[in-house]
Chain A
Amino acid sequence: MHSIKVLGSGCANCERLATLADKVLSDLGREERVEKVTDYAVMAKMGVMATPALAVDDQVVLAGRIPSPDALKELLAAKVTA
């Protein structure tokens, strides 16, 4: 199991990224689900400066934008099946 986190203040874009990531994960047949992080101290520790950000196993892989579903699928497939 990998940890998948969406970091952000809870704004509309963060919700959209979280929903999209959950959908991509289930499309990939993965059991992981997105954990939402709204704590600024955690974001600071992970070096996140633009939200929404996506982290896999506490490694930031994307920040400040919502990728297309295909791009996100490719990104997550590479990270969670590796």
Chain B
Amino acid sequence: MSDLTVSARARARRSLRPLAAIAAAAAICVAFYLALGPFWNWALYDLAGLPRGVRWSEAVHFFFFDTTKILLLLVGIIFVVRILRSFLSIERTRSILGGKREGVGNVLASGLGVVTPFCSCSAVPAFIGFVAVGVPLGVTLSFLIASPLINEVAVILLYGMFGFEIAALYIGAGLVLAIVAGFVLGKLKLERYIEPMILEAAAVAPLEAAGGMEPSWSERFDLGVEEVKTIIGKVWPYLLVGIALGAAIHGWVPQSFFTRVAGPGNPLAVPIAVVIGLPFYSNAAGTLPLIEALHAKGMAMGTSLALMMSIVALSLPEMILLRRVLKPKLLAIYVGIVASGIVAMGFMFNAVLSN
């Protein structure tokens, strides 16, 4: 009897341990984060003896402060997000979306697109898997639009470079875009333009993929560590260049060219930016330093973000992948609707933000 309660208590303690570890790590991260400003003030101005209030030394301070701030944010948030994501899987997301109607389904799919662990190289098998179990086409497309558009790296970098307001607006705009574009595509009744190969596979596709793959807590931590290593390893050169560029632009580059051709005064700037970004693919980390530089040189915020969305969400490689499951007409309508949505978002940003 007492043995039982002891072991039950031990089990409860063990299941709380990972949460305590996360809380402790989070506290350390926050402490570091708060100490960064004072630390670089002390290290650069007091220890290294840089003059205060001078343009170049402020740029050096900006570079060190911003680099460490963004890296710390990335490490902390990627780690936590990956652990949270390990509770979700594409299979679980599919079973949540399975019986949902359009509308509610589009909203859910967009939200799940943000949080489900998903690589765009899995777009085709995921599409087949969704459609095969009867997830509506428009709901499936909402998922596929939201997934690359909104992720923790994009949001952290936007926050680090442009502040909270822009990051929040971007998340909101991305979600609305995925929901509305998916909903409209669903209403157009385009199911006959799905490649028939899909429907043949659907007949034999098992409802649930291999179960029993639920990771343990130590595996979740490993996943988090692995994700941090992978993403930071990929992202750091872009980041350093981007922040160095930002630091340089901070004081020296005058607003000129882009204010004239892509400033708030030119109504064609947004659609042109979207068309230019369309064929290219890069992730948020590779794109944002460029976006920050363009914005600093006078490109309007909405135009800059529309260019980024167009690069991240639509690309030639992605279209080639999707062509395997979508007939050309459906593919063209998909690209047209998403691109129009991004243009609308660009105009909205430009209207809301008075640079």
Which A residues are within 8 Å of any B CB, using their own CB?
Answer: 8-9, 11, 13, 40-41, 43-51, 59-65, 68, 71
A7: nearest chain-B partner, CB-CB: B125
Contact flag A64-B90 (CB < 8 Å), given A43-B125, A48-B209:
yes
Q: Is the CB of B324 within 8 A of A45?
A: no
Residues in A whose Cβ lies below 8 Å from that of B31: none
10 contacts between A and B (CB under 8 A): A40-B128, A44-B128, A44-B132, A45-B204, A49-B91, A50-B89, A51-B125, A60-B210, A64-B117, A64-B118
Nearest B residue to A42 via CB reads B201
* B277 CB-CB contact with A under 8 Å: no
- C-alpha gap A11/B121 in the complex (Å): 7
* Alpha-carbon distance between A59 and B208 when the two chains are bound, in angstroms: 12
Residues of B within 8 A of A44 (CB): 125, 128-129, 132, 198, 201-202, 205
Q: Which residues of B contact A59 (CB under 8 A)?
A: 210
If the complex has contacts A50-B89, A51-B122, are A63 and B210 also in contact, measured as CB distance less than 8 A?
Answer: yes
Decide yes or no: A43 and B121 within 8 Å by CB, A9-B321, A63-B210, A64-B89 being known contacts. no
State how many angstroms separate the Cβ of B32 from the closest Cβ of chain A. 28
Contact of A50 with B118 at beta-carbon distance under 8 Å, contacts A45-B205, A62-B213 already known: yes
B3 partner residues in chain A, CB cutoff 8 A: none
> Does B223 touch A at the CB level, under 8 Å?
yes
Q: Given the complex, which residues of A lie within 8 Å of B325, measured CB to CB? A: 40
* Residues on the A chain within 8 Å of B295, using CB: none
Chain B residues with CB under 8 Å of A9's CB are 121-122, 124, 321
How many whole Å from A25's CB to the nearest CB in chain B? Answer: 20
B150 CB–A CB distance under 8 Å = no
- A-side contacts of B58, CB under 8 Å: none
Expressed in whole angstroms, the Cα–Cα distance for A30 and B354 within the complex equals 66
Q: Inside 8 A of A49's CB, which chain B residues have their CB?
A: 90-91, 94, 122, 125-126, 128-130, 209
Provide the bound-state CA to CA distance between A36 and B124, in Å. 17
Nearest residue (CB) in A for B93 is A49
CB of B89 within 8 A of CB of A41, answer no
Residue of B with least CB distance to A41 = B201
Are B124 and A40 in contact, CB atoms less than 8 angstroms apart?
Answer: yes
Q: Does B197 count as interface, using CB distance less than 8 angstroms? A: yes
A contact residues around B213 at 8 Å (CB): 61-63
Query: Cβ of A11: which chain B residues have Cβ within 8 Å of it?
Result: 119, 121
Which chain B residues (304-355) contact chain A, with CB distance < 8 Å? 321, 324-325
B209 interface neighbour in A8, A41, A63, Cβ under 8 Å: A63
CB proximity of A60 to chain B, nearest CB, Å = 4
Cβ of A50 and Cβ of B219 under 8 Å apart?
no
How far apart sit A48 and B206, CA to CA, in the bound complex (Å)? 9
CA distance A12 to B130 in the complex (A): 24
Contact with A along B130-168 (1 / 0, CB 8 A): 101000000000000000000000000000000000000
State whether A68 and B222 are in contact (beta carbons under 8 Å apart), knowing that A44-B132, A44-B205 are contacts in the complex: yes
Q: Is the CB of B125 within 8 A of A50?
A: yes
